[in-house]
Amino acid sequence: MTHPLLDLTPLTASHFANIERRVAALLSTDQDVVIMQGEALLPLEGCIRGVAGPDTTALNVITGPYGQTFGDWLRDCGATVYDLAVPFRTAVTAQQVREALAERPEIDFVSLVHAEAATGNTNPVAEIGEVVRAHGALFMVDAVASVGAEPLLPKAWGVDLCVIGAQKALGGPAGVSAVTVSDRAWERLAANPYAPRKSYLSLLDWKHRWIDTGRRALPHAPAQLEMLALEASVEQFEKEGAETVTARHASAASATRAGALALGGGVAPYVHEARDAAPVATTLRVPEGTDASEVVARALTAEPALPLVAGGGVLAKEMIRVNHYGPAATRGVVRASVAALGGALAELGVTVDLSAARRAVEESWR
């Protein structure tokens, strides 16, 4: 009685530590990497509850739905929170962050999402990191949607807590995620009486029970399937090469954008400036009088495997997301996605130029 998913030997501590080292290498850092065995919201919540308390003053940058969630957790911890919200069709600038910090010298924590798959924008983390570092605040970044899709250098950029997951550009599973932790972040966590301890959310538990004891014994049984799948996705990324993978995502984004613009008929990129658009996914605004959910449903009837979804929540009527990440970051998927959306719009009576769109996709695939 064997099955490849059930016939696994237990994952050893040294194997687990080796996967951590490979994740650190992928992120070009020698800082500690803590792999938390849950969907990315686990380390994200663990980071915020670990550093925040009633004495915390936080600047929470909101460029999409995840930033809103971080603000809720920070307030729940009793922190004083200043939200810096920018329209989802843009990115935040380092200058906006600089001004917000100058207004409130007491800010000691900054949370930011690097790329937002849900809204399709990406923020200049390197520049913002310089500003945050000069101010002296601790800097947390959600890089779940950027890792693999675009350059990500948490240590060089001054990111103290950088959370990643394998489920987007790395083409891996959801259910296992990692966070890089700077020495400054460990100090803040250790000094915070409100940080979770003896808890599934606790980063400090991992430090005390795993890192400080030489990574010899795991605190609990590792999730083998997820860990092996994470290892496989890192291995695949190493084999293809960081530059090739990020170039594939950049091409997918620019070709989707160009194809959508060439369709005409009122289809428009949701993120106005191409430089603010995330390589991981492209968001589109549907023509007036059409419903994004209906356009997506029609497109998927023709081609069910395409990575098309309508926007979440209030955006369901107006936004289409083309999730061209991981194995979907290919010319073929982009070509088929633009064609299927164009076909769906044509069925709904919108005049679109399918051949111009096809040409634009081919020409802008770099």
Ligand X SMILES: *Cc1c(COP(=O)(O)O)cnc(C)c1O
Which among 314, 241, 211 has a CA at the least distance from the CA of 25?
241
**Nearest residue (CB) to ligand X, 79 versus 145:** 145
Token reading at 235: 């291995």
321 assigned to a ligand binding site: yes
Q: Token pair 């070009």 is at which residue?
A: 28
- For 210, what's the count of Cα atoms within 13 Å in the CB-facing half-sphere? 22
Q: Are 277 and 364 in contact (CB under 8 A)?
A: no
**Nearest residue (CB) to ligand X, 142 versus 318:** 142
Q: Are 148 and 170 in contact (CB under 8 A)?
A: yes
Could you tell me the smallest distance in angstroms from the CB atom of residue 61 to ligand X? 12
**Nearest residue (CB) to ligand X, 39 versus 127:** 39
Could you tell me the smallest distance in angstroms from the CB atom of residue 278 to ligand X? 9
* Residue 291 CB-density burial (10 A; 0-12 exposed, 13-18 middle, 19+ buried): middle
Q: Are 104 and 57 in contact (CB under 8 A)?
A: yes
Token reading at 207: 């430090």
Concatenate the DSSP letters of all residues of 110-178 into one string: EEEESB-TTT-BB--HHHHHHHHHHHT-EEEEE-TTTBTTB---TTTTT-SEEEEESSSTT---SS-EE
Token reading at 301: 């009837």
Task: Using CB under 6 A, list all residues that contact ligand X.
Answer: 39-40, 66, 113, 116-117, 142, 144-145, 165, 167-168, 174
**Nearest residue (CB) to ligand X, 11 versus 281:** 281
d(CA 80, CA 152): 29
Could you tell me the smallest distance in angstroms from the CB atom of residue 337 to ligand X? 19
**Nearest residue (CB) to ligand X, 20 versus 142:** 142
Q: Token pair 């090469």 is at which residue?
A: 241
Could you tell me the smallest distance in angstroms from the CB atom of residue 40 to ligand X? 4
Chain position whose Cβ is nearest to ligand X: 145
**Nearest residue (CB) to ligand X, 167 versus 364:** 167
Could you tell me the smallest distance in angstroms from the CB atom of residue 69 to ligand X? 9
Could you tell me the smallest distance in angstroms from the CB atom of residue 128 to ligand X? 15
Could you tell me the smallest distance in angstroms from the CB atom of residue 246 to ligand X? 16
**Nearest residue (CB) to ligand X, 125 versus 345:** 125
10 Å Cβ neighbour count for 286?
A: 28
- 280 secondary structure, DSSP code: S
**Nearest residue (CB) to ligand X, 135 versus 168:** 168
d(CA 57, CA 191): 15
**Nearest residue (CB) to ligand X, 144 versus 354:** 144
Could you tell me the smallest distance in angstroms from the CB atom of residue 9 to ligand X? 29
Measuring CA to CA, how many Å separate 357 from each of 241, 284, 323? 30, 14, 18
Could you tell me the smallest distance in angstroms from the CB atom of residue 101 to ligand X? 22
d(CA 301, CA 349): 17
List, in order, residues 6 or more apart from 255 with CB less than 8 Å away: 331, 334, 335, 338, 360, 361, 362, 364, 365
Q: Pick out the residues of the known binding site for substrate.
A: 321
